[in-house]
Every structure is written in C-alpha cells, then in structure tokens.
Amino acid sequence: MRAVLAADKRLTQASIARECGVAGSSVNQWLAGKYAGDNAALETVFLRWLNARAERQQVMRDLPTAPDYAPTPTGEKIMRALKFAQFGADVVIVYGAAGVGKTSTVNHYAASMPSVFIATMTPATAGVVPALEEIAHAVGADTTAGGAARLHHSIVARLRATNGLMIVDEAQHLNPAALDQIRAIHDATGVGLALVGNEYVYTRMTGGTRAASFDRLFSRVGKRVRITGAAVGDVDALADAWAIEDRDSRALLAKIGGEAGGLRSVTKVLRMAFAGAKKKPSTADIAGAWRELGGGA
C-alpha cells in the first residue's frame, strides 16, 4: 500500500478509503500500525482493491486512447453554429441523431474559446430550479442562493458582459418552463445560447399542443443545425485520426458509421479492435469487434 501511494501521486489515503468503502481514518491508522479493529479483515479489503487496481491498469494499457477530437465535416458545421451564437449573441439549436459528435465538438469548442460554459441536462434537471442549479455550477455562479429567482440573478450577474456562450447540452430533457427560463437568461445577459440535443428538442417547439409554450424562445433562434446521421466524410476523418489506411477497413467503418450510433459506434469498434489485435487492426479484426458489439458486419 505504501509503495502504491508513493508511486502514484494522484492517490491519497482518502481516495483509497472511498474506493475500498472504509473510513479514511482506517487507512491512516492501518498504515501507522495503530488500527484497533480486525486487521485481517481490513487487509483482505485492501488486497482486493490492490488486485482490482492492477487488473484495471492492465485493461487500460490494452485499450487504446481515442483521439480527443477529429475535425469532421459535421463537427465543423457545429463549430460554425457555435461561433455564430457566441459572436452574434444569438440563439442556435443543434439537434439530431445520436453518436455524430455533437458533445465532443461542443467540448472541443469550449476548450478553444474563452467564456464558454456547458451545462449538461439530465432527466433530474428537467424543472426550472434543478436546471438553474446545473447552469449555476457550469458558469461558476453562487449555487447557495435558494430558489429560482435568486439563482437566476446569480447566473445573470456572472454571465453579463462576458461576451460568452452558454451551451445547454442534452436540452431535450428540459420542460417548457425550464427552457423559457434559459431564454430569459439569454435575454438578460446578451450572451450567446446554444441548445444541443436530439430531434425532440426541436420538433416539440414547432408542432403539437405545446408549440405555443415555446413562442418566445423559438422566435429568437437565429440558426438551426439538423444532423440526420454521420456523413461519409465524418467516418473518413475518424479513420484518419486512428491511422486506418486500408480501403476495405475504411469501407467497413463507413458502413458501421451509417448505422445507429454513428461515430460513437465507430470509436467503440476501433478501440476493441486495437485492443484485440495489439497492433493496427485488419478488416477482419474490425469486423470481429463489430460482431462482439452486436453489429451485423
């Protein structure tokens, strides 16, 4: 245990305790030879953790790291929309198929531009207050202020005069009141707003009985980017990033990218194929990985 702590400076006694499911004081006392409880039982817990850690490290060594970002045609289209929103202090909606690089492009944009804030929504943040809490965390506003009105004022004070961009990812989870509240933040601050999500985030604004609830937001939308699936150029760019040159392998990846899951499936297949082959995978390795993931190759 001491050797592991000395070799990995990211580890602490507290982090080991959390992973082992024991009290932090137990780790400290055991290392000091002062643990008063059942030492044999505690040592069994630590040994199990050390073995699991070694296995995890081996798996991570075998699995290749996917490229952080591959500049795809679809990604460039999304980047242009985000720039339009930020530089024009406007509202954009980026919506469509899953697995085409929306979130990875958003993260890349945020890493390369100043004053970009990403708030990722979930079913738990559908309402006004939890959505505001998520945004407050994302922008670095005061989250201790209780209630929607105070959170709104805290967020507005943080964003005003930043010339920034507020990106709301997985926006389809938000209910009409929460979306309208986010529209109000855009109005009050003048920062750009990008709503990113699946088809539902857009279609429910334009039809059905709820459409009227979105009038104030929809009328402010300056650009709409719909992505129906991964383009061939997207898969080519990802294959280039992984240094896949074989024509048959690239054709198979294009087929995989055209199915549900898009570029996300291509990345998963390539990670598995590289891990299994321990070298640049062949077309057969890629096909095998695709079958393991439930594909039809």
pLDDT at 194: 97
Whole-number percent of the chain with pLDDT over 70: 93
Cα-Cα-Cα-Cα dihedral sign, residues 254, 260, 266, 269: negative
Residues 20-77: tens digit of each pLDDT = 999 989 999 999 999 999 999 999 999 999 999 888 887 767 666 777 788 999 999 9
Contact 177, 159 (CB under 8 A): no
Decide if pLDDT at 297 tops 60. Answer: no
pTM of the model: 0.81
Question: b or e along 106-134 (b: 16 or more beta carbons within 10 Å of the residue's beta carbon)?
Answer: bbbbbeeeebbbbbbbeeebeebebbbbb
Measure CA 198 to chain center.
14
Q: Which residues are CB-neighbours of 54 under 8 A, at least 6 positions away?
A: none
Q: Of 24-33, 137-146, 269-278, 284-293, where does mean pLDDT reach its minimum?
A: 269-278
Compute the mean pLDDT over every residue in the chain, rounded to the nearest whole number.
90
Q: Is the dihedral of CA 225, 76, 101, 220 positive or negative?
A: negative
Q: Place 130 in a pLDDT band, splitting at 50, 70 and 90.
A: very high
Structural contact between residues 127 and 260, judged by C-beta atoms closer than 8 angstroms = no
pLDDT of residue 208 exceeding 60: no
Distances (CA, A) of 87 to 11, 218, 244, 262: 42, 19, 37, 30
Query: Could you tell me the two tokens for 272?
Result: 């598995």
Q: Tens digit of pLDDT for each residue in 209-239?
A: 556 667 778 888 899 999 998 888 999 999 9
**pLDDT tens digits for range 95-126:** 998 889 999 999 999 999 999 999 999 999 99
Instruction: Look at residue 203 in the predicted model and tell me its pLDDT.
Output: 76
CA distances from 21 to 25, 41, 48, 181, 238 (A): 12, 13, 12, 40, 40
Strand partners, 226: 95
pLDDT of residue 136: 97
Residue 286 reports pLDDT greater than 70: yes
Lowest mean pLDDT among 42-46, 85-89, 274-278: 274-278
Read off the tokens for 243: 């240094």
Q: Report all structural domains of the chain as residue ranges with CATH numbers, in order of start.
A: 2-62 (1.10.260.40), 74-226 (3.40.50.300), 232-292 (no CATH)
The predicted-structure confidence for 152-199, as pLDDT tens digits, reads as follows: 999 999 999 999 999 999 999 999 899 999 999 999 999 999 999 998
Q: Which of 93, 3, 105 is nearest to 46 (CA)?
A: 3
Beta strands in the chain (DSSP E): 91-96, 116-120, 165-169, 192-197, 221-227
Predicted pLDDT at 212: 63
